[in-house]
A and B are shown apart, each in its own frame.
Chain A
Amino acid sequence: MKLHIKGGRLLLPAGPVATNAAPPAHAECHADVFIADGLIAAIGSAPAGFQADRVLDASGLCVAPGLVDLSARLREPGNEYKATLASELAAALAGGVTSLVCPPDTNPVLDEPGLVDMLKFRTQQLRQAHVYPLGALTVGLEGTTISAMRQLTEAGCIGFSQAEVPIIDTQVLWRALQYASTYGYTVWLRAQDPYLSRGGVAASGAVASRLGLPGIPAAAETIALHTILELVRITGARVHLPHLSSAGGIELVRTAKRDGLPISCDVTINHLHLIDADIAYFDAQYRLDPPLRTQRDRDAIRAGLLDGTIDAICSDHTPLDDDQKMLPFGEAAPGASGLELLLSLTVKWAQEARVPLAQALAYVTRAPAAVLGLRSAGRLESGAPADLCLFDPHAYWTVEPDALRSQGRNTPFNGYELPVRVRATLLGGHVAFEQTWQ
Chain B
Amino acid sequence: MMTRTAPGFIKSNPQLTRKGELKHLLTIEGLPRTIVNHLLDTAEQFVGVADGEIKKLPLLQGKSVFNLFFENSTRTRTTFEIAAKRLSADVLNLNINASSTSKGESLLDTIRNLSAMQADLFVVRHAQSGAPYLIAQHCAPHVHVINAGDGRHAHPTQGLLDMYTIRHYKKDFRGLTVAIVGDILHSRVARSDIHALTTLGVPEIRAIGPRTLLPEGLEQLGVKVFHEMDAGLRGVDVIIMLRLQNERMSGACLPSAQEYFKSYGLTPERLALAAPDAIVMHPRPINRGVEIESSVADGVQSVILDQVTFGIAVRMAVMSVVAGARA
Contacts of A214 in B (CB 8 A): 152
A58 vs B130: C-alpha distance when bound (angstroms): 49
- Closest B residue, CB atoms, query A323: B106
Q: Decide: A401 near B134, CB < 8 A? Known: A205-B217, A211-B129, A211-B153.
A: no
Contact between chains at B2 and A416 (CB < 8 Å): yes
A426 to chain B, nearest CB (A): 28
Interface of B is mostly: loop
> Size range of the interface on A?
35 or more
The reply to whether A327 and B220 form a contact with Cβ atoms under 8 Å apart is no
Q: Whole-angstrom distance from the CB of B9 to the nearest CB of chain A?
A: 4
What residues of A have a CB within 8 angstroms of the CB of B108 in the complex? Answer: 326
Q: Does A281 contact B130, Cβ atoms closer than 8 Å?
A: yes
Task: Check B141 for interface membership: any CB of A closer than 8 A.
Answer: no
| Residue A52 lies at the interface, judged by CB distance under 8 Å to chain B | no
Q: How far is the CA of A328 from the CA of B130 in the complex (A)?
A: 6
Contacts of A396 in B (CB 8 A): 2
Q: Assess whether A84 is interfacial by the CB under 8 Å rule.
A: no
Find out whether the CB atom of A206 lies under 8 angstroms from the CB atom of B6.
Answer: no
Contact A204 B216 (CB under 8 A): yes
- Chain A residues within 8 Å of B7, by CB: 414-415
- B126:A212 contact, CB within 8 angstroms: no
Once the chains bind, are B9 and A280 in contact (CB under 8 Å)?
yes
In the complex, the answer to whether A417 meets B134 with C-beta atoms within 8 Å is no
User: How far apart are the CA atoms of A351 and B188 in the complex, in Å?
Assistant: 42
CA distance A211 to B151 in the complex (A): 9
Q: Please, what's the 1-or-0 string for B6-18, where 1 marks a CB less than 8 Å from any CB in chain A?
A: 1111110110000
Q: Which residues of A contact B129 (CB under 8 A)?
A: 211-213, 282, 328-330
Residues of A within 8 A of B6 (CB): 398, 414-415
Interface assignment of B204: CB less than 8 Å from any CB of chain A: no
The answer to whether the Cβ of A79 comes within 8 Å of any Cβ in the partner chain is no
Determine which of A285, A331, A416 lies in contact with B9 in the assembled complex, contact meaning CB atoms within 8 Å: A285
Contact of A210 among B8, B131, B191 (CB under 8 A): B191
In the complex the two chains form, is B154's CB within 8 Å of A212's CB? Answer: yes
Quick one: closest A residue to B135, CB to CB? A328
Given A205-B216, A209-B217, A282-B129, the answer on whether A330 and B151 have CB atoms closer than 8 Å is yes
CA distance A400 to B212 in the complex (A): 43
Q: Which residue of A lies closest to B252 (CB)?
A: A195
Q: Which residue of A has the minimal Cβ distance to B152?
A: A212
Bits for A379-423, please: 1 = Cβ < 8 Å to B, else 0: 000000000000000001010010000000000001111110000
> Out of B5, B153, B216, which one reaches A212, CB within 8 Å?
B153
Chain A residues numbered 417-435 whose CB sits less than 8 Å from any CB in chain B: 417-419
| Cross-interface CB contact of B217 among A206, A280, A330, cutoff 8 Å | A206
B134 A212 Cβ-Cβ under 8 A: no
* Complex-state Cα separation, A215 to B10, whole angstroms: 23
Q: Are A331 and B4 in contact (CB under 8 A)?
A: no
Give the complex CA separation of A280 and B126 in angstroms.
Answer: 19
Q: Are A212 and B9 in contact (CB under 8 A)?
A: no
- Distance in angstroms from B234 CB to nearest chain A CB is 26
Task: Tell me if B58 is interfacial: C-beta within 8 Å of chain A.
Answer: no
Asked if A317 lies at the interface with its beta carbon under 8 angstroms from chain B, I say no
The docked-state distance in angstroms from the alpha carbon of A240 to that of B131 is 37
Which residues of B in the span 1-44 have a Cβ within 8 Å of any Cβ on A?
Answer: 2-11, 13-14, 29
- The answer to whether A210 touches B151 (Cβ under 8 A) is no
**Chain A: minimal CB distance from B148 (Å):** 15
Q: Which residues of B contact A281 (CB under 8 A)?
A: 9-11, 13-14, 130, 133
Chain B residue with the shortest CB-CB distance to A213: B129
Residues on the B chain within 8 Å of A327, using CB: 106-107, 134
Once the chains bind, are A328 and B29 in contact (CB under 8 Å)? no
Tell me if B128 is interfacial: C-beta within 8 Å of chain A. Answer: yes
The 10 A-B pairs of least Cβ separation, nearest first, read A282-B130, A414-B8, A206-B217, A212-B153, A212-B152, A328-B128, A209-B215, A415-B6, A328-B131, A212-B129
Given contacts A212-B154, A212-B191, 17 further A-B contacts (CB under 8 A): A205-B216, A206-B217, A208-B215, A208-B216, A209-B216, A209-B220, A211-B129, A211-B130, A212-B150, A214-B152, A280-B9, A284-B134, A285-B9, A326-B108, A328-B134, A396-B2, A414-B7
A-B contact pairs, 9 of them (CB 8 A): A206-B221, A208-B215, A208-B216, A215-B216, A326-B108, A327-B107, A328-B131, A331-B128, A417-B5
